[in-house]
Amino acid sequence: MTFGGGYAMLPIIEREIVDKRHWAELDEIMDYYAVGQCTPGVIAVNTATFIGYKLAGVPGGIAATIGVVFPSLIIITVIASVLTAFAEVPAVKSAFAGIRVCVCVLIFNSVMKLYKKAIVDKASLALFIIVFILAVLLDVSPVVFVIICALGGISLTRLGVRGK
Amino acid sequence: MMLYLRLYFEFFKTGLFSVGGGMATLPFLYAISDKTGWFSHELLADMVAVSESTPGPIGVNMATYVGYVTGGIPGALIATAGLVTPCCIIILLIAKALKAFRQNKYVDAAFYGLQPCSVGLIAAAGMLVLKISLFDFGLFGETGKLIDLFNFKAIVLAAILLICTRYVKKLKGLHPIVFIAASALVGIVFAF
């Protein structure tokens, strides 16, 4: 039961997996987490798959993945069914118009947090600006940006531009 | 049947290419919205709020929600399965060589480029939320008056929220659900 995405899970994993069940050591969990961040996909899912795999091989990995998504699956399905039923009520509409303003601010805060971690030099700043402008102006799939930037990261590093 | 296959494929793609967790799935969801018309930009913004206020990883929540809205309970299951399949396969593949993967210079170099890319894409997705929440392009299109373009009530609320979440010491550590609930109340009281 974790609120607010990936990072919220770390202390809970620590308590359940390390302290209570001794399934893994804390530094192993930190390693899982670091790898979870540098592989595609949802960090919490990646970490759960890892711990499951370590304990019981491939079936363990799959079981842990199902376990971590199951609560969200039920809770969100219930919320979605309620929301679609009440979406046309005027008060609900006004409430969501207010909530959308809050979502803007939450996304902005999230971007600022990620920005501090990701923009480490001039080249990464340039990449950020280029991707942002092109993504706003052009109707191109994000997949294209991701592939080009992964190759860009490798080329920039090889050219020795990184860190300057 | 075709709907379920497309749901699986679209979320598989999202799981495979979204890097950095959390909001990283957002740009992909906007792309799905534009391409398929399964759900509106407004609904997507509401979904971010729902995901921020409920347990679980935000990417999974979003997949479940979109899956349910487009294809009922089977849709929710299939979209979520699509999202986690690539993570699951990749992790199982690299699990044995965990440290070697992390220290691989090509992986490291690729992520040096991927991180700013992810932030840029999320920021661009944020602009779409900004467009539907702080501005009123519909009314502006009808009247042509510049003053009708801005949703002043919403802009004031955004400014207050920004100050509260970033600069007010007592408030900024609070869970997002507090701000979401407060915004909902303001929305009802001031008839947004």
What's the pLDDT band for B36 if we cut at 50, 70, 90? confident
B41: containing domain: 1-133
Length of chain B: 192
Asked if residue B147 and residue B73 are part of one domain, the reply reads no
- B83, B107, B133 — which closes off a domain? B133
ipTM attached to this prediction: 0.83
Chain B, nearest residue to A6 by Cα? B57
Residue A49 has what pLDDT?
Answer: 83
Backbone angles phi, psi at A140, to 5 degrees: -115, 145
Distance from CA of B97 to the nearest CA of A (A): 11
Q: What average pLDDT does the structure give for chain B?
A: 86
**Are the Cβ atoms of B129 and A103 closer than 8 angstroms?**
yes
Of A36-50, A134-148, B8-22, the one with minimum mean pLDDT is: A36-50
Extract the tokens encoding B81: 């399965």
Asked if residue B114 and residue B150 are part of one domain, the reply reads no
Q: What average pLDDT does the structure give for chain A?
A: 81
Asked if residue B139 and residue B128 are part of one domain, the reply reads no
Residue A117 has what pLDDT?
Answer: 82
Asked if residue B149 and residue B72 are part of one domain, the reply reads no
Chain A hits for B166, CB-CB cut-off 8 Å, are 109
Asked if residue B176 and residue B112 are part of one domain, the reply reads no
**Are the Cβ atoms of A49 and B52 closer than 8 angstroms?**
no
Distance from CA of B113 to the nearest CA of A (A): 4
**Are the Cβ atoms of A151 and B98 closer than 8 angstroms?**
no
Burial classification of residue B86, based on how many CB atoms lie within 10 Å of its CB (0-12 exposed, 13-18 middle, 19 or more buried): buried
Asked if residue B80 and residue B140 are part of one domain, the reply reads no
Asked if residue B174 and residue B114 are part of one domain, the reply reads no
Extract the tokens encoding A37: 């961040």
Three-point CA angle B50, B55, B56, nearest 5°: 100
Asked if residue B99 and residue B49 are part of one domain, the reply reads yes
Backbone angles phi, psi at A3, to 5 degrees: -100, 140
Residue A3 has what pLDDT?
Answer: 41
Reference B182, options B79, B51, B49, B91; nearest CA is B49
**What is the number of structural domains in chain B?**
2
**Are the Cβ atoms of B48 and A107 closer than 8 angstroms?**
yes
Alpha-carbon span B186 to B133, nearest angstrom: 14
**Are the Cβ atoms of A98 and B122 closer than 8 angstroms?**
no
Alpha-carbon span A1 to B20, nearest angstrom: 21
Residue B9 confidence (pLDDT) above 80: yes
- Is residue B150 classed as helix, strand or coil in its secondary structure? strand
Chain A hits for B88, CB-CB cut-off 8 Å, are 45, 49, 61-62, 65
